[in-house]
């Protein structure tokens, strides 16, 4: 198992706990900066992962990288969101307790991307049950739908989530026993329960605090929810005709700069409300329901 840290991994300190000047904000920032210059965007503070948005594609999310982090202890290898994902998964299996990963940060920090990386890690590395082997993929594939209705371009982020998201992934388990033998005699104890499978079998995505006001008002330089533009751009001709829509977003006040008193029509608002009410059914179809859920906090990102 490869666990050696390269010289590059050792730029600065990879855990702020090891920072000599640990109570200096300047030293903290300087360490982040030194690592960031080397495209090392992850640094630990103990079990918390600090992530910096590189705003460019880095070659650190491949399947080979996932393999590197599988089953390896947190501190043996350079900090990574896969390390946190793997650690959380293993804690769930060994402690047999629900786990929670809390992702926080300002707009554009990379929270949504981080959550996708975590899901991708589970989709690729967790054992899969035959009938459910695409669950991780289903959760991932639901993202574009959610983002169409809940994301919009803002001044800080071209794909800003305008709602809070709670997502849980449920894993199956099987209770097993180990019976210990001493001198070929069966001992009464101990009997251990084992979490044997650990395959993702279900999940939920809950949305809350959707910024509904964006439908009728956006700040300068910002846009309405993606779905409006996607509908006008990609909707089939027949649908466009039925909804009496024209393809040019400029025709709609709500898709350019809004003036509520203007005479232009606001059909998109109505369409949005109808589609939004259908969304829960759509998700029920994509994401099957099942048993376990998550609560324990193990880390913070971004
Ligand atoms: N790990 C990463 N690698 C490369 N680019 C990234 C990464 N994380 C984020 N980005 C870039 O930054 C953009 C903003 O990230 P993201 O949408 O995840 O931010 P956010 O914290 O969810 O913002 P908001 O709170 O506004 O929704 C992404 O669209 C992507 O271009």
10 Å CB burial of residue 135 (0-12, 13-18, 19+) is buried
Whether ligand 1 lies within 6 angstroms of the CB of 109 is answered as yes
ipTM beyond 0.90? yes
Whether ligand 1 lies within 6 angstroms of the CB of 105 is answered as yes
In the reported structure, the alpha carbon of residue 111 is separated from the centroid of ligand 1 by a whole-number distance in angstroms of 6
In a domain, 166, yes or no: yes
- 186-194 long-range Cβ contacts below 8 angstroms, 24+ apart: 193/96
Whether ligand 1 lies within 6 angstroms of the CB of 207 is answered as no
Q: Are the beta carbons of 201 and 169 closer than 8 angstroms?
A: no
Whether ligand 1 lies within 6 angstroms of the CB of 219 is answered as no
In a domain, 63, yes or no: yes
Q: Which two tokens stand for residue 153?
A: 């371009």
pLDDT for 267 equals: 58
Q: Are the beta carbons of 200 and 132 closer than 8 angstroms?
A: yes
In a domain, 281, yes or no: no
pLDDT for 94 equals: 85
Binding site for ATP: which residues?
105-112
User: Which residues form the domain of 77?
Assistant: 8-149+156-211+292-301
Per-residue pLDDT of the chain (302 residues; tens, 9 = 90+): 444 566 666 788 999 999 998 889 999 999 999 999 999 999 999 989 999 999 999 999 999 999 999 999 888 889 999 999 999 999 988 888 889 999 999 999 999 999 999 988 988 888 876 554 566 677 778 889 999 999 999 999 999 999 988 888 888 876 555 555 555 565 555 455 444 577 888 888 888 899 999 999 999 899 999 999 999 999 999 999 998 898 999 888 888 854 444 445 555 555 565 555 444 444 444 433 332 222 223 333 33
In a domain, 161, yes or no: yes
Closest-lying ligand 1 atom to the alpha carbon of residue 113: 18
Helix (H) or strand (E) holding 244: none
Q: Are the beta carbons of 179 and 191 closer than 8 angstroms?
A: yes
Q: What CATH number is attached to the domain comprising 59?
A: 3.40.850.10
Rounded Cα–Cα distance for residues 301 and 294 (Å): 17
pTM: 0.79
In a domain, 255, yes or no: no
In the reported structure, the alpha carbon of residue 25 is separated from the centroid of ligand 1 by a whole-number distance in angstroms of 25
DSSP state of 267: H
Q: Which two tokens stand for residue 239?
A: 């649908």
Number of domains in the chain: 1
Whether ligand 1 lies within 6 angstroms of the CB of 54 is answered as yes
């Amino acid at each position: 198992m490869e666990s050696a840290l390269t010289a590059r991994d050792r730029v600065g300190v990879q855990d702020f706990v090891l920072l000599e000047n640990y109570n200096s904000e300047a030293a903290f920032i300087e360490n982040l900066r030194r690592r960031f210059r080397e495209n090392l965007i992850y640094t630990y503070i103990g079990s918390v992962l600090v992530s910096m948005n590189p705003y460019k594609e880095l070659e650190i999310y491949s399947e080979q990288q996932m393999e590197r982090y599988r089953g390896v202890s947190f501190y043996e290898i350079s900090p990574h969101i896969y390390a946190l994902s793997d650690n959380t998964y293993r804690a769930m299996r060994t402690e047999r307790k629900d786990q929670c990963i809390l992702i926080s940060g300002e707009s554009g920090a990379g929270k949504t991307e981080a959550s996708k990386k975590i899901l991708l890690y589970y989709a690729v590395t967790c054992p899969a049950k035959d009938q459910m082997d695409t669950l991780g993929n289903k959760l991932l594939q639901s993202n574009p739908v959610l983002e169409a209705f809940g994301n919009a371009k803002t001044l800080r982020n071209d794909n800003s989530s305008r709602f809070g998201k709670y997502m849980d992934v449920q894993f199956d388990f099987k209770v097993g026993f180990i019976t210990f033998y001493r001198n070929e005699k069966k001992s009464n104890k101990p009997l251990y329960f084992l979490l044997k499978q650990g395959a993702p079998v279900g999940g939920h995505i809950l949305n809350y605090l959707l910024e509904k006001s964006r439908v009728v008002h956006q700040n300068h330089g910002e846009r309405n929810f993606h779905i409006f533009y996607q509908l006008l751009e990609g909707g089939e001709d027949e649908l466009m005709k039925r909804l009496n829509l024209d393809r040019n977003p400029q025709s709609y006040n709500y898709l350019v700069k809004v003036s509520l008193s203007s005479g232009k029509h606001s059909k998109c608002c109505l369409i949005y409300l109808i589609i939004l009410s259908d969304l829960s059914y759509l998700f029920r179809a994509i994401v099957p329901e099942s048993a376990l859920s998550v609560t324990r906090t193990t880390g913070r990102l971004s």
